[in-house]
């Protein structure tokens, strides 16, 4: 069975008649003018820029080759070094060669690219018109129609029993996230406002759990971390109760020393024998403030460099912390040991804790 060849699509032409006029599809559109001229305005200047950029690219090429050559030729492995060669010197030489060649390659490539863009490409600003974000009215009507048809087909409008029981079924699931909040633990109540420090509680050294007398800090400028006695194994309590004791020389500590943020709120002197106690928990986000510079009396938080002036109520003098380190009132017990006179009078730690 022989196959008939497919006839070409399109209008039939009877022999002898003129060929049909070309349709719009067949006609090539006339070349349109480019929106912007690709030619730089100053041709001579452009030529110079081209030469400089090309020289930089050649330099980048050579430096790149140098990098590869240095990597291959400069050995640093102890096993592959010649006998007697110093591995430290070899590594230094290799690092210098690799670093220098890579630096030159990248700098030259970047400089050449900048010159190209700044001196050879047209300096124009192009703004794209903002389009209407609304859907066309026809699209909106089509969506509305589809939605109505879909709702009708799903029967949700016709079968109230199904609709209501389905909504009932989803209600517990909607409430479930609220129930799961229980797993966050009990509400903090007033815990964030208080620590375990109370009147008469001894301050003991963090390392040896030793009670302290003022005479134990006889050297001005010394700083020591203390914790409340009996809480050394209570991580939750220690998270807020860490305290630093700082000993000042006579006349260095400025009384009053009690600040709330930047505001002086009391003229009480809570120090003993020029020893002052501040919370060790930074009021920014709670890092331990562990660095003390005794010549300037600055307490530094290593996390984000908040700096507190220990001689002036640990007021903030630099950094993101928003308020002073709370001060722990001190007193002596009947045997002359340092004890707390009360809890802190402000919340310790990050400033958001005192809200709410």
Which chain residues interact with ligand FES by CB under 6 A? 282, 284-287, 301, 303-304, 306, 319-321
Of 282 and 341, which CB lies nearer to ligand FES in the complex structure? 282
CB of residue 264 to ligand FES, shortest distance in Å: 22
CB of residue 320 to ligand FES, shortest distance in Å: 6
Give the DSSP letter of residue 135. Answer: P
Q: Is the peptide bond before 262 cis (omega within 30 degrees of 0)?
A: no
Cα distances from 340 to residues 6, 256, 312, in angstroms, run: 104, 18, 20
CB of residue 299 to ligand FES, shortest distance in Å: 10
284 burial via Cβ count (<10 Å: 0-12, 13-18, 19+): buried
Q: Give the CA-trace dihedral at 248, 250, 252, 257, to 10 degrees.
A: 80
CB of residue 231 to ligand FES, shortest distance in Å: 23
3-state secondary structure of 106: helix
Of 292 and 337, which CB lies nearer to ligand FES in the complex structure? 292
**What one-character-per-residue DSSP string does 12-31 give?**
---TTSPPPPPPTTTSPPPP
In this structure, the strands spanning 315-318 and 307-309 are antiparallel
Cα distances from 183 to residues 7, 170, 186, 237, in angstroms, run: 76, 22, 8, 21
CA-based end-to-end distance of the chain: 93
CB of residue 347 to ligand FES, shortest distance in Å: 15
CB of residue 319 to ligand FES, shortest distance in Å: 5
Of 271 and 283, which CB lies nearer to ligand FES in the complex structure? 283
Of 47 and 304, which CB lies nearer to ligand FES in the complex structure? 304
Of 257 and 283, which CB lies nearer to ligand FES in the complex structure? 283
Of 40 and 286, which CB lies nearer to ligand FES in the complex structure? 286
Q: Which residue has the tokens 């809570």?
A: 270
Of 63 and 321, which CB lies nearer to ligand FES in the complex structure? 321
Q: d(Cα 92, Cα 76) in Å, to the nearest integer?
A: 9
CB of residue 285 to ligand FES, shortest distance in Å: 4
């Amino acid at each position: 069975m022989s196959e008939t060849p497919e006839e070409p699509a399109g209008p039939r032409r009877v022999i002898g008649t003129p060929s049909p006029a070309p349709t719009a599809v067949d006609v090539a559109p006339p070349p349109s003018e480019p929106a912007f001229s690709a030619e730089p305005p100053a041709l001579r200047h452009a030529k110079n820029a081209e030469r400089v950029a090309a020289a930089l690219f050649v330099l980048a090429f050579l430096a790149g080759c140098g990098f590869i050559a240095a990597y291959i030729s400069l050995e640093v492995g102890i096993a592959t070094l010649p006998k007697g060669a110093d591995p430290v010197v070899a590594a230094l030489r290799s690092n210098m060669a690799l670093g220098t060649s890579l630096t030159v390659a990248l700098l030259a490539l970047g400089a050449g690219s900048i010159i190209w863009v700044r001196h050879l490409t047209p300096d124009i600003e192009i703004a794209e018109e903002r389009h209407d974000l609304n859907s066309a009215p026809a699209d909106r009507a089509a969506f509305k129609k589809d939605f109505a048809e879909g709702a009708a087909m799903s029967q949700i409008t016709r079968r109230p029993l199904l609709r209501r029981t389905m909504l009932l079924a989803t209600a517990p699931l909607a409430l479930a996230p609220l129930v799961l909040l229980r797993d966050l633990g009990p509400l903090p109540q007033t815990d964030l406002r208080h620590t375990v420090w109370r009147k008469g509680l001894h301050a003991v050294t963090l390392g040896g759990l030793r009670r302290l007398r003022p005479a134990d800090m006889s050297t001005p400028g010394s700083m020591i971390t203390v914790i409340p006695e009996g809480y050394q194994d209570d991580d939750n309590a220690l998270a807020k109760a860490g305290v630093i004791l700082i000993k000042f020389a006579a006349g260095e500590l400025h009384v009053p020393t009690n600040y709330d943020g930047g505001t002086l709120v009391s003229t009480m002197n809570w120090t003993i024998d020029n020893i002052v106690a501040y919370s060790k928990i930074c009021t920014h986000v709670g890092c331990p403030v562990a660095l003390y510079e005794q010549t300037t009396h600055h307490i530094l938080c290593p996390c984000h460099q908040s700096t507190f002036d220990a001689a002036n109520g640990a007021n903030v003098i630099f950094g993101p912390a928003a308020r002073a380190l709370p001060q722990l009132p001190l007193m002596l017990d009947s045997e002359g040991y340092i004890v707390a006179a009360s809890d802190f009078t402000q919340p310790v730690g990050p400033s958001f804790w005192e809200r709410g």
